[in-house]
Structure 1
Amino acid sequence: MQAGSNHWVLLMDREDTGLASHPSAERIGFARLTTMAFEGADLRPLRDQLIGRLADGSASAGEGLDLSLIIQLLGDKQTGMAIQAEVLAYHQLYRSPCSSQAPKLRVLALAAAIDMGGNTPIEFLLENSGIELQTLYVVAGIDLPIPLPEHDVAIVIASDSEECVEALRKIDAMAPRWPRRLLNSPRFVRNLDRDKLYGLLQGCAGLEIPATLSVARAELTSMAQSTDLSAIATGLKFPVIVRPRGSHAGVGLVKVDDGAALAQYLAGRPEQAFFVSRFVDYSSADGLYRKYRAVFIDGKPYACHMAIADRWDIWYLNAGMAFSEEKREEEARFMRDFDHDFAFRHRAALAAVANRVGLDYFTIDCAENKSGELLIFEADNTAVVHNMDSPVVFPYKAPQMRKIFDAFAAMLSRAAPKREQAA
């Protein structure tokens, strides 16, 4: 190039990176379809149209994957997953809608062939960023493509679920030879399961995390009959929290106060493995429970949401935040003052969480215990962080979500190969 040229060049030559152009299937994608469902749109006409195209053989791979998601959003997980498996068997690389005709960065997300909640919903984070997102599904029986699809930075979006073990193993095997920066190492993702997270975080100053134990059904049945929980863990007593292993979003989650309640719970559940932990009463002085979600990006925590309810088993949708101006005002203060209030009070504990978890991007659901310590419920790399809430009802949310999205995009840019102007 001539001196003074305005062209930009990569420091690392593309031909030496093990990257190549691969055909990518276009799709409507997770963010747009989920937003449509969240806003009450009727997805059935689109479903029927895509089913017709699938039936006559004219559907593209992207349309097939969209159909799988639509059917899951309409409540038929089994059929949706069957369609997804068929589509992913012959095509694994998909391109999400991009807000820019000339993307400033190319991101490759590494996903597992799991249901719609099993991978990081990264499209929400990048929807208006001007960053190109391609998703490569790591499928059983199919090797990762070599050379890999062109990208500036890659990120693992598969979860810690049992269904993702093989996908994480494949990515981890190639990780030492990955030609670009690989964020959210699969080795760290595997530490997020509830029992492993306890082992990772126990002993942090200013932090409480109840021991979570993996227990077989037969063992729980025996404990229900004897009412003695010491065989599970020394000192464990009723009440306890029980949930099926691998469940999320409160599915199968209960507090049981005695052996009879535990036996009744097991009679209504088909699962063979469960998580058990001691119950912690984290109610505030006013008798209400406050549960927080924080997002960690490159080690820094950001406020995501706050839910307030008169029940301990809170998630945002059952807290009635949209129906209480007082609750929303408190959530707005939590977001506005987060850096010099909540995050400042718990700075040592939050720093320890970021350091021990080690992921570039993840979330925690947490509270404060009676002693004012940070109480950790779970850490996750697949929680939905979105900007779908009504700007009329929640006017304070959009600026906070943009702050999170901008921080995520900035992290990806820092992780990409540096560019310099040619001399």
Structure 2
Amino acid sequence: MAATGADLRPLWNALIAKLMDGTIEAGEGLDLSLIAQLLGDKEAGLAIQHEILKSHQLFRSKCSVQQPPLRVLALAAATDMGSNTPIEFLLENPCVELMTLYVIPEVELPRPLPEHDIAIVIASDSEDCRDTLRMIDNVAASWPRPLLNPPHRVCNLDRDKLHGLLTGIEGLEIPATIAVNRAQFAADDVAFPIIVRPRGSHAGKGLAKIDDASALENYLGEQQVQEFFVSRFVDYSGDDGLFRKFRIVIVDGKPYACHLAVADRWDIWYLNAGMTQSASKRLEEETFMHTFDIGFARRHATALAGMIDRIGLDYFMVDCAETKDGSLLIFEADNTAIVHNMDPPEIFPYKAPQMRKVFDAFEAMLERRARHAREQAA
């Protein structure tokens, strides 16, 4: 609804009324939390989520069959909507049963666990997910079913650790990212230009390119947070002066094209690139998708293979670009960026087939791992 511009307030009001008269169900409470965040009130959304999770941690998405052929258990953290993998988008098959279990420090894991064929960690490597990842890691070795995206590997993805993990891979460039607080910002020691963002921020919130000490002072005056990520700025513009940022999805060790954003600004994310208004940009994205295996993936085969091996997750995505010397420039790798099929097909007719390819690969991976575990048990 939010993606199509629908007004969420009537639904919000209806759910608030149910909350006030005590008839709201736990799943509707999570809907209410999500709506609050979509309307821009993160604090209220998290407060509602906190109250709901006090009494209810397991949620089942809609499933069209009584005996689903695949039962997936997603292990989530009590955090904002950008810090768990939005796995619902990946599992559009109505015959797949998806259960989400919120793993929170205040409550022990259920015993026995809900019946499932395969589990996957969907919590991110962010500060408010650390306790959840530790709880899962403590029991991961004895998990009764295959457990994908194990927490000890998810914990390598935060920006200040990713550089150390990926440095030295042939054909890959990733600037060092350093976590600093306000007191550690000494302008005399900074080699400008730099990229600064509040630690834990998403979707470019608070992201800025700083060119000199005066700009840094102004930036810090505008930000209320205490901790930041800092990295050197890399000019990745093409010969035409435009910047191109790619999102690549890795499923079971294989890369897939997710999107390409083209803009005249370095701080691109898909929603600010003007893709909807530009037929030429969409044609470039369509070409990127159609030629991905013989184009982008082949050009960066060595870098992609090295990155996939070191990260070692079953499912993740990477935001990246190409440098002027042809290297693969890594901005971010995580397991929670949104991969979806919500773009209007009349404007992006090439996207649905590509997203279907990704979704099919994800579901096939789950089925394959679950089947292999059953065969081994037999």
TM-score range, shorter chain: over 0.9
1:201 alignment partner in structure 2: 166
1:292 alignment partner in structure 2: 246
Structure exhibiting the larger radius of gyration computed from Cα positions: 1
Residues 100 and 283 from structure 1, CA distance in 2 versus in 1: closer, same or farther, beyond 3 angstroms?
Answer: farther
Higher relative contact order (CA 8 A, sep 6+): 1
The one-character-per-residue Cα deviations of 1:305-340 (angstroms, maximum 9, x if unpaired) are 000000000000000000000000000000000001
1:120 alignment partner in structure 2: 85
Aligned residue-pair number: 374
Structure 1 stretches of 4+ with a deviation exceeding 6 A read none
The residue type equivalent to 2:255 in the other structure is P
Please give the secondary structure, in 2, of the residue aligned with 1:322.
Answer: coil
CA shift, 1:228, in A, is 2.5
- The match for 1:378 among 332, 335, 340 is 332
Quick one: percent identity of the two aligned structures? 68
The residue type equivalent to 1:397 in the other structure is K
2:178 alignment partner in structure 1: 213
Is 1:165 matched up with 2:130?
Answer: yes
Distance (whole Å) between structure 1 residues aligned to residue 283 and residue 94 of structure 2: 29
Equivalent pair of 2:177/2:231 in contact (CA under 8 Å): yes
The one-character-per-residue Cα deviations of 1:347-382 (angstroms, maximum 9, x if unpaired) are 010011110001100000000001001000000100
- The match for 2:320 among 366, 371, 384 is 366
1:267 alignment partner in structure 2: 221
1:398 alignment partner in structure 2: 352
Please give the secondary structure, in 2, of the residue aligned with 1:38.
Answer: coil
- The match for 2:278 among 324, 327, 330 is 324
CA shift, 1:99, in A, is 4.7
Residues 99 and 325 from structure 1, CA distance in 2 versus in 1: closer, same or farther, beyond 3 angstroms?
Answer: farther
2:307 alignment partner in structure 1: 353
1:87 alignment partner in structure 2: 52
Equivalent pair of 2:62/2:94 in contact (CA under 8 Å): no
Distance (whole Å) between structure 1 residues aligned to residue 61 and residue 92 of structure 2: 9
The residue type equivalent to 2:362 in the other structure is F
Deviates more, 1:179-188 or 1:95-104: 95-104
1:42 alignment partner in structure 2: 7
- Return 5+ residue gaps in structure 1 as ranges: 1-35, 230-236
The one-character-per-residue Cα deviations of 1:78-137 (angstroms, maximum 9, x if unpaired) are 111111100000000001123545422000000000011110000000023521100000
The one-character-per-residue Cα deviations of 1:27-46 (angstroms, maximum 9, x if unpaired) are xxxxxxxxx11112222121
CA shift, 1:67, in A, is 1.2
Distance (whole Å) between structure 1 residues aligned to residue 25 and residue 94 of structure 2: 26
Equivalent pair of 1:208/1:375 in contact (CA under 8 Å): yes
Please give the secondary structure, in 2, of the residue aligned with 1:398.
Answer: helix
Please give the root-mean-square deviation of Cα atoms over the aligned residues, in Å: 1.1
Please give the secondary structure, in 1, of the residue aligned with 2:249.
Answer: strand
1:276 alignment partner in structure 2: 230
1:255 alignment partner in structure 2: 209
The one-character-per-residue Cα deviations of 1:206-239 (angstroms, maximum 9, x if unpaired) are 000001111121111xx22xx332xxxxxxx110
- Return 5+ residue gaps in structure 2 as ranges: none
Q: TM-score, length-normalised on structure 1?
A: 0.87
Is 1:73 matched up with 2:17?
Answer: no
